Structure 1
């Protein structure tokens, strides 16, 4: 007998269903890697402050909003509507654009500061760049799958 736990693509899950359905399964990796970017950038010397301020803004903004989005879906506040599916796509698309811009800036600043910072800070910055691109990838996959879900409504 086939299992009936899988939901059709057009339905928005709630409760623990967000831990087992696509694209919602990507919330946790987005939070983990976004949090790592936030921690790693905050743990090094922030110079120049302006571009790295953008990186911090993006990582904190996306972390907080992804957590709130996760809570809204877990509580079932979305009422399984097409508007929530569209909002999910729009938010994740904005997150992809923000994270991609922050990742490029972070990589560029890390490359510029290579010879000026101690090697320990350079290694931390490299880790932040890698985690930033991984977070961008997770947000991108979530965006693509959100579009598919939105179009299936």
Structure 2
């Protein structure tokens, strides 16, 4: 991890977000979350309520992850040490939400209602949802460690 800034924040800013391990995971979260969003949006909806939750979580996490990444690059976290708590809170919630949609997507995929490409697209969305869950979980653990060592 990178060293603390003058204000005590341990979250890096500027181009250092590309070399810090927890923040580097945000790029993978961004990519896999975007793929889940795109793949689920491109299939036929078999279970509207389930797919609505999957779309909400994937779009919400995609937007918030992008916003946090940009804010970290700008250096807004240098103004307060509360950003480490925000980072922990967001990534724990995102990991739980992504676990819920990965399981839901896997559950819905086991019923191949639509043969052909739709079934394969749903399988791909399930795999990417579990990969995003893994990245968010690792990021949450590393953020908790960073938060505990900084306080």
**How far does the alpha carbon of each residue in 1:13-67 deviate from its partner, in whole angstroms, 9 at most, with x for none?**
0001000012111010000000000000000001211011000000000000000
Matches within 5 A, 1:105-120: 105-112=104-111, 114=112, 116-120=113-117
**How far does the alpha carbon of each residue in 1:102-151 deviate from its partner, in whole angstroms, 9 at most, with x for none?**
11111001112x1x212211000000000000000000000000011111
- 2:112 aligned with 1:123: no
Q: What SS does the aligned partner of 2:144 have? A: helix
Corresponding residue for residue 60 of structure 1: 59
Runs of 4+ off more than 4 Å? none
CA distance in 1, matches of 2:147, 2:79: 11
Say how many residue pairs are matched: 146
CA distance in 1, matches of 2:109, 2:11: 40
Distance apart, 1:81 and its partner CA: 3.7
CA RMSD, Structure 1 to Structure 2 (Å): 1.3
CA distance in 1, matches of 2:40, 2:136: 19
Q: Where do 5+ consecutive residues of structure 2 fail to align?
A: none
Corresponding residue for residue 8 of structure 1: 3
